[in-house]
Amino acid sequence: MRPLPVLRHDDFVYSRLKALAWVTNGTGLPTLLQANAGRAVAHIIEHDEPTKPLVLDCKGIGEVDDHALENARTLLQNQQRPLVLLNAGAIDASIKRELGEYSLILIGGMPVYILGDDTIDRGIASRFIQQAKEIVDAYVATHVKECFQKYEGGRQRMASTPLLASGVFDARPLISDPLKFVWISLLMADGLEDFLDRPLEQPQSADEANKPTRHFRLLAVSLRGSPLAAAVGLLSGRHKTIEIVDHMGPKYKILEEPSLRSTAVEEDYIYVGDFVIGGTELRIAQAYARSKGSRIKHAVVIGRMLETAEYNLDFDITSLVNLHECSPNERFVFLDY
Amino acid sequence: MFSILHITDLHIRDPHGSEEYLRIGFFDEYLDSLVVTARPLLTKEPKCLIVTGDFIDRGNANNFDHASTVIRYLADKLKMPYDQVVVCNGNHDILRAYETTGDLVAARKPFKDFASQFGNGTAIHETKRAVLLNPLEKLWCLMIDATLGSNGEDHPGNLESNEADELMGWIKSVPLDDLLVIGAHYPVHNIMAEGAVFDEEDPLWSKRHMWGKGEILKERIRLREERPQIIWLCGDIHKSFNVSHNGQRFMATGRLGTMTAIADSQVRRHARIINMNGARTPPETWLMEFVPIGHSSQSHLGRWKKTSEEQTSAQTSDFLSESPVIVPDVITASSKSEAASEPVPIKLLTPSVVAPVNAAEVASRKGIGIATTRGFDVELINAELQEELLQTIRDSGLYHFGRFDTADVEVSLAWISMGLLLNKEGILPSILSSMSEWLNGKLGDNQSESQSHSLLIGMDCWGSVIASQLSVLTGLPNICVAERGGGQHYLPSETLTSACFSEIQKAATIILVSDVVATGLSLVRLHQKIGIGDSAAQHKRWLALSIMCDEKQNRSADCGFLEGNGTTCKDLRMPILPIDQLPPENILAPLISFR
């Protein structure tokens, strides 16, 4: 079987059901775990460090096809491999049907399902949760760091922003490698879902009162942003429009005729992109949204250089990493005009 | 039959100085070395010297005297009468001050006086645009002023229809069994990958160096399909290439001169020999280069050598075929770097001038049957999905008719609002699923081997979306490249970079992924660019995947290099017209232009 999206800790093996569903079945039914994904789970159980517990995060999965995890169940029993399921509340019934009896504990409000090992208690499960987050964060930080390409010959002015920089972050390595792309996209999709799950904000002014607040379209304005926006949109169980403008960043050159698009947009925009350094691309995108009679309400990116507040935008940015923390030795200096 | 020596771009700026090869105190040593190397290669008699412009630098007409000395010296050394020397002007040979005021005759008078001492003085036909010469028996030279019409701007000029008519009249008068050489300073457009960028840091390179209007003449010659072969010679780009396309051969030769201290001075000096055995026999060509001895501070010291990769006779059986061919003497930066004893300042993976690949040869080598003429073999990958797409386009009004300048030589008359189409519920996942199945079928059962040797290349935004999703579904790596407008509107890092080539070189199968294939030139262009950076490109297996590809369009692009070309919709007509069949842009403005 081809390489699967699995991360390994000294104490356990970790994966996401949604990632397995994506690589095996695509995004036609993004919240459904089908038989192919079940086979991938079985493969991991059988072959991926089978002496260690397997921790599967079920976030974003809402249904499991009948018999999808049949093989996994057999292998778990045969190998007596412990299985810990996180964020599995939405598929509680399916777990019982497919995998049999489990122990259920609540950790920080999250139902955690433990199968096949009575020794995994609350303390161990809590540690697994924390360590799983740490290996995911480390995975992202490591690979984002690899995206930094130092300029030859010292600092140069960046193409998009009046900044002198010692190099540039290029998301190509993250998009090129399917496993990295899966993890990055999935985490960005989580960020989007977290934003959409926030309580509705109150209208800030009279003209906003009648605007829908939970109907969004995703906006990508660059070559690198496009695959990310599409992935985030496709992974979401909620139907939303993906709008790609070619292109506003890092250079600005619109290669499509606006009159061929719908001119007025009723939904709010959520910007999806790769890296935010100075924020120029975000501002151009906001101007574009305004020209459509809309606005950007949120941004989801792989990394940002500054804290959100420092960009002085009227929306928040969800970022997987802080680029400065990833590459503390690199320097980005605003040019003084 | 005869031999031709082609040189170009002398760029004489400071004959009394010490910083150029052709300075008064050094040019004889420099040329003597050239003659020593060239003489045994000039195997036919009589001989002809063709020079394609930029004799002087920056319009300093005082230097024509020295240019004359240099050319005469070379002719004398080769025992060649001066009327067997044929020249055309380059952009540096015209006086910019007159040109910008519209006095085109005065701007070219010094050159014309200079040229008249050579074969140009005995022209059969002459207009302000061109001269037709017959310097040798069986050899005709149409020397064109490709700068005319540039209005003093630093880019190639135009070619009006009536001028093309006249030149075609001359061409028709040349006996079919005689060889016609067309000399122009600038390379005719579209012989390189359209929009390919010679210097990644100069997105306007193509505009400045490609004679787009020359395409009109090239196409008219091609459509007549009578003359067994025509050779185009050019200079300007300071690089060499030698390609054959639709029965016409196009050769550029690197510069002969210029200062040694300027930024790109370490780009080798070139001269080219063409030996003709007959009008219907492919030429034997040799490229010679001046190889410096020692370090760059002494770069004027060196000797002329023939380059082994220049010999073209091995593959010239394709010369008269319809399909484009690549010949082994296309000088790639990488191949030159291997031979170089000094640092080569150009970026190794920068596409320079590229040639279409011989589909027939590739097909033959792989033992597969590919159409060798223009056109596409398009494979519909899911008929049901096509119906759904067509219905959605119809119901949602996503088909737009108008002028869409997505390529320089052809215009697409149709535009599909791809974003709106792909956002219809379930369509994009269905497309991805169908493409994934098709791809798995093409790559065979040995998935692990296929995965490690195949690469998806997503072209532009939607192509990148599809490629990245297919990458997840198949496990294949992918790269996303900006190709619209030849990538000129994007950062160099968004086009083909060295990082891309490290992936490409590992791949045995390349899958080009795009949303719409209209003219097909983007596929050809990308294929050609990859051929420049990866010498093994022509040995790879090439597949293409698209959402829309009208199978019935008669395109000029030859995608015969594709072993498979899958699409989810092949039955939607998306007409294409040659750009010269449309009124000018100020009458019919393009709704979209990638230029």
* A23 contacts in chain B (CB < 8 Å): 472-473, 475
List the single range of A275-289, B231-245, B541-555 with lowest mean pLDDT: B231-245
Using a CB–CB cutoff of 8 Å, tell me whether A254 touches chain B. Answer: no
pLDDT band at residue A262 under the 50/70/90 scheme: low
Compute the distance between CA of residue B124 and CA of residue B441 in angstroms, rounded to an integer: 61
Q: What is the pLDDT of residue B315?
A: 30
* B447 contacts in chain A (CB < 8 Å): 2
Q: For residues B195 and B486, is the Cβ–Cβ distance under 8 A?
A: yes
List the single range of A96-105, A272-281, A321-330 with lowest mean pLDDT: A321-330
As a whole number, mean pLDDT of residues A48-52 equals 95
Q: At a CB cut-off of 8 Å and minimum separation 6, what does B355 contact?
A: B191, B192, B241, B243, B244, B245, B324, B325, B326, B327, B330, B528, B531
- Which residues of A, range 219-238, sit inside 8 Å of B by Cβ? 220, 222-224, 226-227, 230-231, 234
Q: What is the 3-state secondary structure (H, E, C) of chain A?
A: CCCCCEEECCCCEEEEHHHHHHHHHCCCCCCEECHHHHHHHHHHHHHCCCCCCEEEECCCCCEECCCCCHHHHHHHHHHCCCEEEECCHHHHHHHHHHHCCCEEEEECCEEEEEECCCCCCHHHHHHHHHHHHHHHHHHHHHHHHCCEEECCCCCEECCCCCEEECEEECCHHHHHCHHHHHHHHHHHHHHHHHHHCCCCCCCCCHHHCCCCCCCEEEEECCCCHHHHHHHHHHHCCCCCEEEECCCCCCCCCCCCCHHHCCCCCCCEEEEEEEEECCCHHHHHHHHHHHHCCCCEEEEEEEEECCCHHHHCCCCEEEEEEEHHHHCCCCCEEECCC
The rounded mean pLDDT for chain A is: 89
Q: Do A3 and B475 touch (CB under 8 A)?
A: yes
Structure tokens at B393: 């386009």
Compute the distance between CA of residue B400 and CA of residue B517 in angstroms, rounded to an integer: 16
Q: At a CB cut-off of 8 Å and minimum separation 6, what does B469 contact?
A: A26, A27, A227, A230, A231, A234, B428, B432
Per-residue model confidence as pLDDT tens digits over A123-161: 999 999 999 999 999 999 999 999 998 887 778 888 777
Q: What is the pLDDT of residue A201?
A: 66
Q: What is the pLDDT of residue A1?
A: 80
pLDDT band at residue A204 under the 50/70/90 scheme: low
DSSP β-bridge partners for residue B531: none
As a whole number, mean pLDDT of residues A250-254 equals 82
Q: For residues A11 and A53, is the Cβ–Cβ distance under 8 A?
A: yes
Nearest CA in chain A to B467: A227
Q: What is the pLDDT of residue A316?
A: 94
- The strand pair at B179-184 and B230-234 is best described as parallel
Closest CA to B145 of B92, B98, B197, B195: B92
Q: Do B419 and A26 touch (CB under 8 A)?
A: no
Q: What is the pLDDT of residue A98?
A: 93
Q: How far is B271 from chain A (nearest CA, A)?
A: 34
Nearest CA in chain A to B415: A260
Per-residue model confidence as pLDDT tens digits over A285-331: 999 999 888 999 999 999 999 998 999 999 999 999 999 888 777 77
Q: What is the pLDDT of residue B340?
A: 32
Query: Is residue B476 over pLDDT 50?
Result: yes
Q: Do A223 and B473 touch (CB under 8 A)?
A: no
Q: How far is B330 from chain A (nearest CA, A)?
A: 29
Sign of CA dihedral B381, B384, B387, B393: negative
Closest CA to B574 of B591, B555, B559: B555
As a whole number, mean pLDDT of residues A42-49 equals 96
Local structure of B293: helix, strand or coil: coil
Q: For residues B567 and B377, is the Cβ–Cβ distance under 8 A?
A: no
H or E, element range at B593: strand B592-593
Closest CA to B251 of B188, B159, B158, B335: B188
Size of the A and B interface in Cβ pairs below 8 Å: 130
ipTM value greater than 0.90: yes
pTM of the predicted model over 0.90: no
Query: Is residue A3 over pLDDT 60?
Result: yes
| Test the A interface: residue of B491, B515, B591 with most A CBs within 10 Å | B491
Q: What is the pLDDT of residue B146?
A: 95
Q: What is the pLDDT of residue A59?
A: 95
Q: Which residue has the higher pLDDT, B150 or B202?
A: B150
Query: Is residue A194 over pLDDT 70?
Result: yes
Query: Is residue B12 over pLDDT 60?
Result: yes
pLDDT band at residue B317 under the 50/70/90 scheme: very low
Sign of CA dihedral A105, A111, A116, A120: negative
Q: What is the pLDDT of residue B453?
A: 86
Q: Do A242 and B422 touch (CB under 8 A)?
A: yes
Q: Do A23 and B472 touch (CB under 8 A)?
A: yes
Residue B162 DSSP class = H
Compute the distance between CA of residue B289 and CA of residue B267 in angstroms, rounded to an integer: 10
Compute the distance between CA of residue A235 and CA of residue B428 in angstroms, rounded to an integer: 12
As a whole number, mean pLDDT of residues A32-51 equals 96
As a whole number, mean pLDDT of residues B169-175 equals 92
Q: What is the pLDDT of residue B529?
A: 87
Structure tokens at B488: 């000129």
Query: Is residue A236 over pLDDT 90?
Result: no
Partner residue facing B460 (CB), from A170, A230, A246 = A246
Q: For residues B15 and B70, is the Cβ–Cβ distance under 8 A?
A: no
Per-residue model confidence as pLDDT tens digits over B247-273: 788 898 989 997 766 555 557 899 999
Per-residue model confidence as pLDDT tens digits over B331-390: 333 333 333 333 322 222 223 333 333 333 333 333 332 233 345 689 999 999 999 999
Q: How far is A11 from chain B (nearest CA, A)?
A: 27
| Test the B interface: residue of A147, A223, A236, A272 with most B CBs within 10 Å | A223
Q: What is the pLDDT of residue B344?
A: 29
As a whole number, mean pLDDT of residues A101-127 equals 91
User: By percentage, how much of chain B surpasses pLDDT 70?
Assistant: 81
Local structure of B211: helix, strand or coil: strand
Q: Using alpha carbons only, give the angle B62, B68, B69 rounded to the nearest 5 degrees.
A: 105
Nearest CA in chain A to B397: A260
Compute the distance between CA of residue A216 and CA of residue A329 in angstroms, rounded to an integer: 38
Burial of B405-425, coded b for 16+ CB within 10 Å and e otherwise, reads bbbbbbbbbbbbbbbbbbbbe
Q: Which residue has the higher pLDDT, A41 or B293?
A: A41
pLDDT band at residue B330 under the 50/70/90 scheme: very low
Q: How many Cβ atoms from other residues are within 10 Å of residue B62's Cβ?
A: 10
Q: Which residue has the higher pLDDT, B459 or B332?
A: B459
The torsion angle over the Cα atoms of residues B486, B492, B498 and B499, rounded to 10 degrees, is -110
Burial of B352-383, coded b for 16+ CB within 10 Å and e otherwise, reads bbbbbbbbbbbbeeeeeebbbebbbebbbbbe
Q: Do A255 and B485 touch (CB under 8 A)?
A: yes
Q: How far is B563 from chain A (nearest CA, A)?
A: 24
Q: Which residue has the higher pLDDT, B214 or A181?
A: A181
The rounded mean pLDDT for chain B is: 81
Compute the distance between CA of residue B129 and CA of residue B146 in angstroms, rounded to an integer: 8
Q: What is the pLDDT of residue B166?
A: 93
Residue tagged 């990866």 (tokens): B534
Structure tokens at B543: 């597949």
**Start-to-end Cα distance in chain B:** 44
pLDDT band at residue B196 under the 50/70/90 scheme: very low
Q: Which residue has the higher pLDDT, B99 or B193?
A: B99
Q: Do B433 and A175 touch (CB under 8 A)?
A: no
Partner residue facing A170 (CB), from B447, B464, B493 = B493
Query: Phi first, then psi: what are they for A305, rounded to 5°?
Result: -85, -40
Query: Phi first, then psi: what are they for B473, rounded to 5°?
Result: -75, -30
Q: What is the pLDDT of residue B224?
A: 78
Query: Is residue A84 over pLDDT 90?
Result: yes
* A261 contacts in chain B (CB < 8 Å): 417, 419-420
Partner residue facing A2 (CB), from B432, B448, B468 = B448
Q: Which residue has the higher pLDDT, B344 or B168?
A: B168
Compute the distance between CA of residue B122 and CA of residue B131 in angstroms, rounded to an integer: 9
Compute the distance between CA of residue B276 and CA of residue B162 in angstroms, rounded to an integer: 32
Local structure of B260: helix, strand or coil: coil
Q: Do B493 and A149 touch (CB under 8 A)?
A: yes
Q: Do B490 and A246 touch (CB under 8 A)?
A: no
Local structure of B53: helix, strand or coil: coil
pLDDT band at residue A259 under the 50/70/90 scheme: low
Structure tokens at B335: 């191949």
As a whole number, mean pLDDT of residues A209-226 equals 79
Sign of CA dihedral B313, B314, B316, B317: positive
Structure tokens at B66: 């020295």
Compute the distance between CA of residue B211 and CA of residue B199 in angstroms, rounded to an integer: 17
Maximum alpha-carbon separation in chain A:
69
Q: What is the pLDDT of residue B265?
A: 57
Q: What is the pLDDT of residue B447?
A: 53
Q: How far is A109 from chain B (nearest CA, A)?
A: 32
